[in-house]
Structure formats: C-alpha cells, structure tokens
Amino acid sequence: MILRPIQKSDYAALVTIADESGHGFTSLPNNEELLQKKIAHSVNSFTKTTSQPGDEGYLFVLEDTETGEVVGTSGIEAAVGLDDAFYHYHLSKVIHSSRTLDVYKAVDILTLCNDYTGATELCTLFLKDGYRKNYNGKLLSKARFMFIKQHQQRFAQTVIAEMRGVSDENGSSPFWQWLEEHFFSMDFPTADYLTGIGQKVFIAELMPKYPIYVNLLSKDAQAVIGQVHDNTRPAIQLLKSEGFTFNGYVDIFDAGPTVEAKVDNIATIRNAQNFSVEIGEMTGDTMVLLANDKLEDFRATVAPMVFDERSNSLVLTQQLADALHLKSGDFVTATPV
C-alpha cells in the first residue's frame, strides 16, 4: 500500500470515492467538473515553488500496488480562508446574573466566526470499505504529517481538521434541521453540496448574525453539537492520539467538531527521524511509517522491520526502496506506527 500525490489519471477513481463518501463529506462533492479542477489544482500545488502557505491544496491517494487500484484519499489545504471565507461556530458561555435577585446562570452560545483563517487544514480523508483494516487508515492519515514535516515552509503553524458531524443515512442532520426551519429553507445535502463547490455566499446572507443561545435549539440539535459521525470515530481518535484538541469550534452545518494542534506538538512530526537508506534483507516486526523527502515524487508506506531510533540507517529491501523511489544513501523519514 503506497500513498502518493494524485495524478490526472486518477480521475475515475476519485469520482468513485466521491460517490461512495456520501452526504456530509463537504471537501469531495460529487461534481465531475469540480473534481477535475481539484486534481489539476493539486498537481499544480506539488509543482509550485513557494516559501509560505498560500492557496495550495495537496491531494494524496492510497494505491494497492498489487492491483493498481486507488482505494482511498486524503488531503492538506495549506492555508484556508484566504480566497473564500472559512466559517465556524464557536461554542462559548455568557453569564446572566443579578445580585438583586441572587440569580447566576451560565448559558452556552454559538457565535459565527472566521477564527481559523490562514490555518493549515487536514481534509478529504476517505478509505474504501474493504480496505478499512491493517494499517491503511493510519497510513492515509499519518503520512500527511510526514509530508508537512518534510516541507514545513509550505504550511501554517496551526493545523486543523473538521470532523464529520452527526447525520443519518439520508444525509439529514439534526443541527441543520433547526437552522433550516428557522433561517434557510434548504435541506442539509443541498447546503453541504453548495459549500463543497465553492458557492458560500448564501452562508453570509442567510446565517443568523447574532450569537445563538444553545438552549433555544431543539433537544436533538443540542445533543449533536461537537459530536462526530459513527464512521468518523476512528479518525478523531487517531488525531487525538497525535495531540489534536477540541477548543469549541464546530461546523456550521452539522455541528461536528474541529480539532487543532500546533505543528511542533503533533506526535508523528515530533517523533519522526531521518535515516540513511541501506539496501538488504529486512527482518523484524515493528510496524514503521516510512516516507521519502520528495515533493512531486512523495511516497509513503507502512512496513514491518527492525527499528532502532538510535541508528543512523534503515535497511530496506530493493522492492520497498523502489516503491518509495529511494536508493542506497538517500534519506528516509521513519517512525513506529
């Protein structure tokens, strides 16, 4: 299983993944023209010379090299909100008190904001059903941290990830149902799709401008604020293990949580080390995440081996070195999964 940058030839595979991902997967709408643009933008981003984060979007695919099938995707947006407003609700408290009446009450409110403008976003993580096993999910997610480590000048110091919120099999979101009833007259899949294809102006036009008192929402809507979709639980647990935290920011459509971390606090980035490559026979059973230090030619995988973090070199088989586009004497970045 090799993770690599997406190519234009992966278009058909990305259409299939977009179809399978279903409602609520905003960053991969089922729109063929948009998907083609997304691939082209990614290809351009990998070839672009830059010393600071801008509008680059890096899209990776996970390929089963035995079959040639693309079985998953994940992405990184270098800096969000520079071209289009990047909205969140921030969950906070206000105090209602009266000394005269001896009343003191803390009330939760949701305030529309753009606080994450300029942050780097992890996005577009999806793995096909039959491949949600072994270390595939971890490779698809964690390899992005290896890429950020290798090319830190391309990314912001704050990294965020929007987690898919609660919705049913028909794409109905309890949180959005309340907003729809009072403000939008538009179902959740439609609003989510419009956002995915970049038509966000309706948010500014129709979203309530003042803070929303959470206790005025329906009980169902209140219950899902900051909660994730069942399919997203493994993803958020993985990010929490990397050092990501939830600081009260939620999606404006389904109220799913957004988690954040500083680059230097992300476990994989902090722990990964560079080793010189030696070609030989591999032994051992420590599962190790491996990545080269290239840009357009980036490759990453997970493999069992003898791993000693005090060593200066790692032994790779010729086959594995070829898969990672490495040769003897090159450097490989590695850390135990």
Amino acid code (one letter) for 313: S
Tokens of 286: 């420590």
Higher pLDDT, 254 or 300: 300
Higher pLDDT, 154 or 98: 154
What percent of the chain shows pLDDT beyond 70?
96
- CA distances for 58 relative to 64, 155, 163, 254, 324, angstroms: 20, 11, 19, 25, 18
Higher pLDDT, 206 or 74: 74
Higher pLDDT, 258 or 186: 258
User: Backbone phi, then psi, for 53, in 5-degree steps?
Assistant: -70, 135
Q: What domains are defined for the chain?
A: 2-88+114-268 (3.40.630.30), 272-336 (2.40.40.20)
Q: What is the pLDDT of residue 198?
A: 67
Arithmetic mean of pLDDT, 105-132: 94
- The answer to whether 229 is a known catalytic residue is yes
For 173-222, how does the pLDDT look when each residue is reduced to its tens digit (9 = 90+)?
899 889 888 887 777 777 777 776 666 667 767 788 789 999 999 999 99
For all residues of the chain together, what is the average pLDDT?
Answer: 91
Arithmetic mean of pLDDT, 43-55: 96
What percent of the chain shows pLDDT beyond 90?
71
Options 41, 96, 229, 325, the catalytic residue: 229
User: Quick check: 69 pLDDT over 70?
Assistant: yes
- When pLDDT is cut at 50, 70 and 90, the band that residue 234 belongs to is confident
For 292-313, how does the pLDDT look when each residue is reduced to its tens digit (9 = 90+)?
999 999 999 999 999 998 999 9
Task: Give the dihedral sign, CA 78/24/83/262.
Answer: negative
- When pLDDT is cut at 50, 70 and 90, the band that residue 171 belongs to is confident
d(C-alpha 325, C-alpha 334), whole Å: 15
State pTM to two decimals: 0.91
Those residues whose C-beta lies under 8 Å from the C-beta of residue 80, and which sit 6 or more positions away, are 86, 116, 117, 118, 119, 120, 121, 160
User: Quick check: 23 pLDDT over 70?
Assistant: no
For 85-96, how does the pLDDT look when each residue is reduced to its tens digit (9 = 90+)?
888 999 999 998
Q: What is the pLDDT of residue 190?
A: 77
Residues pairing with 58 in the sheet: 76
User: Quick check: 324 pLDDT over 90?
Assistant: yes
Show the CA angle centred on residue 177, arms to residues 189 and 82, nearest 5°: 55
Window from 41-45, 121-125, 175-179, 268-272 with minimum mean pLDDT:
175-179
Nearest alpha carbon to residue 175 among 191, 196, 151: 191
- When pLDDT is cut at 50, 70 and 90, the band that residue 122 belongs to is very high
Amino acid code (one letter) for 146: M
Three-state DSSP at 27 gives: coil
Three-state DSSP at 75 gives: strand
Ramachandran assignment for 329, one of left (phi > 0), alpha (psi -120 to 50 degrees), beta (any other): left
DSSP structure class, residue 153: G
